[in-house]
Amino acid sequence: MNYHVFPTYEALSTHAADFILAYVRNHPQATICVASGETPLLTFQKIVANTQPGDFDQVTFVALDEWVGIAPDNAGSCRSYIDAPLIKPLGISPDRVSFFDGLAPDLEAECQRVNDFIANKGGLDIIMVGIGLNGHLGLNEPGSSFESYAHVSELEEVTASVGQKYFQSETRLTQGITVGLKHFLEAKTAIVLANGPRKKDIIKRVLEEPISESLPATALKLHSNGHLWVDAAADAS
Ligand SMILES: N[C@@H]1[C@@H](O)[C@H](O)[C@@H](COP(=O)(O)O)O[C@@H]1O
């Protein structure tokens, strides 16, 4: 696992955006899985600001996860956190983006649909995600199998309560639907971003603890091209 500390959130985001832009210029048909949440918002902004015509004409995006029971157009949905700052400004056509539907009547079928979408693209080139305070990647909560593709997860209390920050009013969050850790491990490049002091404790655990499904982010250590990029405030080395 490649661990790199950037002086600021700004520098971290610039690096992440430059990495994506350089990749798509060399691999115009790339498939990229991106996370919702607050962490990647500045990266998205910088990607959009520095895109040149044609950069994303053939690129496909996969949204990492969704809260079960939350409508796609809810401002707090994972979809909204990716669609508004990244997908819409880049003008990605609907056939080149996959979002989970948190209201899908058959969640297993919804997982299969996303698994098939990713498989049909030949897998993920890049997966770039944030990290939860319990070490989750996407909504792969502690105990999630490293062998799992898309699946429904039961949220830990910390995830449900931290998740309230995305919503204007109190919202019941009990389950998630997420790209699996097997997708993460099979991606050509896997990147976890973390910024700010509240992530320092979990970064310390990822650095110090052994690879285990009880700490999902340690999957990064299994990846031959895995990167943990943090800002100085989240640095625990
Ligand atoms: N569902 C989201 C994830 O997509 C995100 O990567 C992670 C970190 O969120 P944040 O970047 O807001 O800290 O947890 C949330 O629960």
In a domain, 233, yes or no: no
Residues 113-132 have a mean pLDDT of: 98
Cα 47–Cα 52–Cα 55 angle in degrees, nearest 5:
80
65 lines ligand 1 (CB under 6 A): yes
What is the signed CA dihedral for 236, 2, 134, 43, rounded to 10 degrees? 100
Mean pLDDT of the chain: 98
Helix axis angle, 41-50 to 9-26, nearest 10°: 50
CA dist 96 to 11, 16, 25, 58, Å?
29, 21, 17, 8
Which residue range(s) make up the domain with 27? 2-228
Residues 6+ apart with CB under 8 A from 133: 158, 159, 162, 198, 199, 201, 202
The string of pLDDT tens digits covering residues 156-208 is: 999 999 999 999 999 999 999 999 999 999 999 999 999 999 999 999 999 99
CATH at 209: 3.40.50.1360
Q: What is the pLDDT of residue 230?
A: 98
Q: How confident is the model at residue 125 (pLDDT cuts 50, 70, 90)?
A: very high
Tell me whether 0.85 is exceeded by the ipTM. yes
Q: Is 106 a catalytic residue?
A: no
Across the chain, the runs of DSSP E, i.e. the strands, are: 2-6, 31-34, 60-63, 65-67, 97-98, 126-129, 151-154, 175-178, 189-194, 226-231
State the total domains in the chain: 1
Is the CB of 139 inside a 6 Å radius of any atom of ligand 1?
yes
Cβ–ligand 1 distance for 64 under 6 Å, the answer yes
Torsions phi, psi of 225, nearest 5?
-135, 55
In a domain, 153, yes or no: yes
| CA 72–ligand 1 middle distance (angstroms) | 16
- Give the SS3 label for residue 154: strand
Q: Average pLDDT for residues 47-70, to the nearest whole number?
A: 98
Band (pLDDT 50/70/90 cuts) for residue 27 is very high
Within a domain: 237:
no
Kindly report whether the global pTM for this prediction surpasses the value 0.90: yes
Per cent of the chain over pLDDT 90 is 100
Q: Residue 161: what pLDDT?
A: 96
Pocket test for ligand 1, best of 61, 129, 136 (most atoms within 8 A of CB): 136
- Dist. CA 116 → ligand 1 center (Å): 24
What mean pLDDT is predicted for residues 209-216? 98
Ligand 1 proximity of 39 Cβ (cutoff 6 Å): yes
Tens digits of per-residue pLDDT, 140-159? Answer: 999 999 999 999 999 999 99
Centroid of ligand 1 to alpha carbon of 173 (angstroms): 13
Among residues 43, 73, 183, which one has the least CA distance to residue 117? 183
Structural domain includes residue 155: yes
Whether 114 is in a domain gets the answer yes
> Active site includes 134?
yes
In a domain, 22, yes or no: yes
Does 43 map to a domain?
Answer: yes
Is 86 a member of any domain?
yes
